[in-house]
Amino acid sequence: MKKNLVLLFMVSVSMVCVSQSGNTITTNGGVPVGDNQNSKTVGEYGPVLLEDILLIEKLAAFDRERIPERVVHPRGAGASGYFEASKDMSEYTKAVIFSTAGKRTDVAARFSTVIHGKGSPETARDPRGFAVKFYSTEGNYDIVGNNLPIFFIRDAIKFPDMVHSLKPSPETNKQDPNRFFDFFSHVPEATHMLTRLYTDLGIPKGYQYMNGSSVHGYKWINKEGKVTYIKYSWVSKQGEKNLTVEEASKQQGLDWQHATVSLRKDIAEKKYPQWDLYVQMIKPEDLHSFDFWPLDATKDWPADTIEKIKIGTMTLNQNPINYFEQVESLAFSPGSLIPGIEPSEDKLLQGRLFSYFDTQRHRLGPNFQQLKINQPLETPKNYNSDSWSSYGNKKFENPDVNYQPSSKASLAEDKQYKQSETTLTNVTIVQKKITKTNDFAQAGDFYRTLTTQEQDNLIKNLRGDLSQVADKNIQKTMITYFYKADSNFGMRIAQALGYSQKDFMK
């Protein structure tokens, strides 16, 4: 009898092992599941029991499937690939990804709309995010920008208010031109961005058909410690293609996820999209030689005066297999910098250095960099400890020491990676607007580069939203801004809204 029981036990174990090696469903703890269709109840028709561990685990996991949505850039698509440097830029930066012509660096990219929610249509007028993570041998480096080379504001202190004005009303839950034009009528530096956004550039045909920009200037540092201010531009090798309002309306009726679908389809068909990366450079002593402040995010760096130099090409050749793990959990920050690249004094950038890391810790937890998609090539070595999802804390030579400096510590600094020094003289701590605002000139310059058809579309698109603004004073203020950019521009919008010259003489 005893022998039979032992034999029966061995057969049972064998059966479990066989099923385990196949496709048997398990709990998160790896325990095989015998019934994944029916809850445990008191009798056939009785109430469900709290002791049903599988049921509780499934419901708890389901309840937590959604992490907090990004406040901005929630709707996006992503892909992976590589960047290949085409020029040795070691004269200007010690950043390893730009140090040798032909050097390849793996990348992950995410493209997104800015204001609208995660389930919103990709046919909406909106700036597009353009973010690239470089997995370098000296850490992860992020270029986090947009498809347009500028932004609405120059100071991060205005960012929450700007986003609030563009988001749905807290009263009506409707996005309302009355709200955002009320805000922009008090922000003249937004004129340039609004002029670009309301052209067809505001609705890209697909993510692979848009250019990108770092928006901000950064500092490149070479091995001698010399500083050069730089700005990045991505140029699509597929060409820049956009939708008119009429085309976008038709596309929305067919498939409002067109940008995500188009990018994924091209990669699946091995029509790998590519972008050339260009850099513009300014010597520190030349920063004040322009009629605008180069570290003002509302200003473009004109290519006719500041040369664009091609330094490499990005190729995206891998679609995500799991969207949540490879795109939704992909975390960027302009503060993810590597040796040879440092932030500039750009006011908007300075705020983003804090905000982006902070929002990732809110969305993904304090250890978001331990998620696979965000991990650097080399295992991080530091004494940061614990908190949620902390599975990356390392065992060092002395597991009792999780601090530094220490006579027992196994980690130490390497002086060659110290940040560069900036000399400041006659410094006064202030809270004031910059002197070189020049809010309208570049908007006018851009308007005059547009074709007649593009100008017509711009006027039509602006009229579409401005006509919904009930406050005539806000309309007049916006018209005045566009008139200051270019008189023809302003007059055409005024006429489109039914104003005459007399209305501005009262």
Q: Are 211 and 234 in contact (CB under 8 A)?
A: yes
Give residue 5's identity as a one-letter amino acid code.
L
Of 64, 70, 68, 66, the C-alpha closest to 333 is 70
What's the rounded Cα separation, in Å, for the pair 185 and 177? 11
146 a catalytic residue: yes
319 a catalytic residue: no
Which residues are CB-contacts of 432 (< 8 A; sequence separation ≥ 6)? Answer: none
CA distances from 288 to 29, 149, 204, 285, 294 (A): 62, 20, 35, 7, 8
User: Backbone phi, then psi, for 10, in 5-degree steps?
Assistant: -65, -40
End-to-end alpha carbon distance in the chain: 108
What's the rounded Cα separation, in Å, for the pair 458 and 88? 41
Among residues 73, 192, 216, 258, which one is catalytic? Answer: 73
Query: What residue spans of 310-346 are helical by DSSP H?
Result: 323
User: Backbone phi, then psi, for 248, in 5-degree steps?
Assistant: -65, -40
Of 277, 285, 281, 278, the C-alpha closest to 305 is 281
Query: What residue spans of 210-368 are helical by DSSP H?
Result: 245-254, 258-268, 323, 347-364
Which residues are CB-contacts of 63 (< 8 A; sequence separation ≥ 6)? Answer: none
User: Backbone phi, then psi, for 389, in 5-degree steps?
Assistant: 55, 35
Helix 177-184 and helix 159-166, axial crossing angle in degrees, nearest 10: 150
Among residues 140, 146, 242, 319, which one is catalytic? Answer: 146
What's the rounded Cα separation, in Å, for the pair 445 and 195? 10
Which residues are CB-contacts of 481 (< 8 A; sequence separation ≥ 6)? Answer: 185, 188, 191, 439, 440, 490
DSSP characters for 214-230? --S-EEEE-TT--EEEE
Q: Is 356 annotated as a binding residue?
A: yes
What's the rounded Cα separation, in Å, for the pair 23 and 31? 13
Residues annotated within a binding site for heme = 356
Active-site residues, by number, are: 73, 146
